[in-house]
Amino acid sequence: MSFDCVAIQADSEIWKERDLILPLIAHILVDNSYMHYVVIYKTKGNVLWIADPANGKNRKTIEAFQKEWTGILLLPMPRETYIPIKEKVAGLSSFLPIIWKQKGLVFHIVLASIFITFFGIGSSYYFQGILDFFIPNQARSTLNIISIGLIAVYLFRVLFEYSRSYLLIILGQ
């Protein structure tokens, strides 16, 4: 890994050192029973900036930190062979060429999603019509015809959902 790591036993005076190499790893006892490690990445006056894998980033005074710190520090130091590498974080622009190659597939997925949405909205209006118009007016024959139409719409919705899921699986490969 191109790092050497020195383990030392220290006391609270170490935080006053001007040439203290940061970040460093501190061993602590959580609730006086669970061993845990945190990263100290900045010190300023009487405050330590701490990155904890369990709790995220926070700040503590040296006095508060002393209550859980065991006094053990791990000081990682880069070797001469260490070469820093800055990793490029993939953003939306890195996915655009992939999406562009599959534009027909993406178009069909979006189209199926639009139809599924319209079927959902249409069925809401259907139930509103049943409750507001057909049941109070006892229009059974019209209700039967519209219900058969709704069953057909639901069948199409199932087909579109299946098609969309299938296309998403293909796109995900």
**What is the per-residue pLDDT for 1?**
66
Mean pLDDT by 10 residues, the chain (173 residues): 85 85 91 91 91 92 92 90 81 78 87 88 84 80 83 88 88 78
* AA letter at 60: K
**What is the per-residue pLDDT for 172?**
79
**What is the per-residue pLDDT for 82?**
84
Q: Residue 26 — left, alpha, or beta (φ > 0 → left; ψ -120 to 50 → alpha)?
A: beta
Task: Please state the CATH superfamily assignment of the domain spanning residues 3-78 in this structure.
Answer: Cysteine proteinases (3.90.70.10)
Q: Domain coordinates of the chain in residue numbers?
A: 3-78, 92-172
